[in-house]
Every structure is written in structure tokens, then in C-alpha cells.
């Protein structure tokens, strides 16, 4: 199957609302996220179930990963109607069975509507050349791991050409 391409939400001012949170992750958190996205990128939507991901209702899905402190990070977003993209619209946490921010569904649903109405304005690549998340990996932008994994294959993470 063709893999899901992961995109990030940007607001009306053009500011990417997600990437700063991702680049602030610890290395463990970042790599846990990376592998989670690599898995989800090649899984059909029905397989996006707990504990790997979950539906939050209203077409909103939650990507789940942790870091070395067992902090449960969450990425909220939606599958694009084209069937090829997943747009991450909100970064948050889960603690004691509750998501933070508590108004996650309102925010995610609103942002989904914005993306649907004007995708060119509100969807963007998660990784910019200046982001530390980008420089952590030694890839060309189009090869960056699960964040653009249409190929269904994980590229080498060690930067060695084959």
C-alpha cells in the first residue's frame, strides 16, 4: 500500500504549530515518535487502533508515543480525504487517562475544518531545514522517515549510502 504522508498544521499567520514541539523532544522521544510514524505510515486506517494510535471521535486520531521518563506524548490529527495524508494538528499529552489540553477535540476539529477548507494555507511539511529534528537525521527532505514514508520502507537512519 502507499504510505501515509505526515503533514503539520499551520495557522492563519503561516506559523507551523507542531514542529517546535517535536524538535523539543528528547532524543528518546524523537526516536520513539519516528518509529511510531514509520509503523503507522504503512498501516491501513483500520489498524490505527490502541495501543499504537486511537480514534478520538469526530474524525480525529491520536498518535501515541513515550519518552524515557514514560511521559505519554500524543499527536492529534486527521486523515486527509485523499487517503494519502495525515495532518498533525495538535501536540499534547495523556496523563491518568485524560488528554491534555482538555479541549483537544475542539482544537483538532477546528483545525481539521480549516485544513479541509484551505489545505494549501493550513497544511505544511513538518520539517523545515532549520529545525533540529531535520538535522538530527541525515536525509534529504523527501526521505525523512515516517514523516514522508510513501515508499513504505524505512530509509537508512545511519546516513550511509548503499
Partner 1 sequence: MLDPESRQAYMVASVEQDIAWQVRINRERRGWTQAKLAKLIGTRQSAIARIEDPSYGKHSLATLTKVAEVFQCALMLRLVDFDKFTTETADLSEDSLYVEPYEDKNGQ
Residues lying near partner 1 in the complex (CB under 8 A) are found at 1, 27-28, 30-32, 34-36, 38-39, 41-44, 47, 51-52, 64-66, 70, 72, 136-138, 152-160
What count of Cα atoms within 13 Å lies in the side-chain half-sphere of residue 147?
26
Question: Cβ 159 to partner 1, closest distance in Å?
Answer: 4
Question: Cβ 120 to partner 1, closest distance in Å?
Answer: 30
Question: Cβ 109 to partner 1, closest distance in Å?
Answer: 26
What count of Cα atoms within 13 Å lies in the side-chain half-sphere of residue 125?
14
57 vs 68, beta carbon nearer partner 1: 68
140 vs 160, beta carbon nearer partner 1: 160
130-159 CB burial, b ≥16 within 10 A, e <16: ebebbebbebeeebbbbbbbeeeebbeeee
66 vs 119, beta carbon nearer partner 1: 66
4 vs 9, beta carbon nearer partner 1: 4
38 vs 114, beta carbon nearer partner 1: 38
Please name which of 5, 75, 89, 87 lies closest in space to residue 42, comparing C-alpha atoms. 5
What count of Cα atoms within 13 Å lies in the side-chain half-sphere of residue 83?
4
Question: Cβ 113 to partner 1, closest distance in Å?
Answer: 31
Question: Cβ 66 to partner 1, closest distance in Å?
Answer: 5
Beta strands (DSSP E) in 22-105 are 53-57, 60-66, 72-79, 85-95, 98-100
Amino acid at each position: 500500500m502507499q504510505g501515509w504522508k505526515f503533514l503539520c498544521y499551520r495557522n492563519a499567520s503561516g506559523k507551523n504549530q507542531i514542529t517546535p514541539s517535536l524538535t523539543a523532544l528528547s532524543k528518546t522521544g524523537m526516536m520513539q515518535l519516528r518509529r511510531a510514524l514509520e509503523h503507522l505510515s504503512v498501516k491501513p486506517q483500520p489498524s490505527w487502533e490502541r495501543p499504537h494510535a486511537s480514534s478520538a471521535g469526530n474524525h480525529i486520531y491520536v498518535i501515541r508515543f513515550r519518552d524515557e521518563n514514560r511521559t505519554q506524548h500524543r499527536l492529534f490529527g486527521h486523515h486527509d480525504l485523499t487517503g494519502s495524508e495525515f495532518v498533525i494538528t495538535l501536540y499534547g499529552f495523556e496523563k491518568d487517562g485524560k488528554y491534555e489540553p482538555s479541549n483537544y477535540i475542539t482544537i483538532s476539529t477546528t483545525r481539521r475544518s480549516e485544513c479541509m477548507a484551505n489545505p494549501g494555507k493550513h497544511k505544511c511539511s513538518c520539517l523545515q531545514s532549520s529545525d533540529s529534528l531535520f538535522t538530527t537525521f541525515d536525509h534529504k527532505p523527501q526521505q525523512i522517515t515516517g514523516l514522508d514514508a510513501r515508499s513504505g520502507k524505512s530509509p537508512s537512519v545511519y546516513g550511509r549510502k548503499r
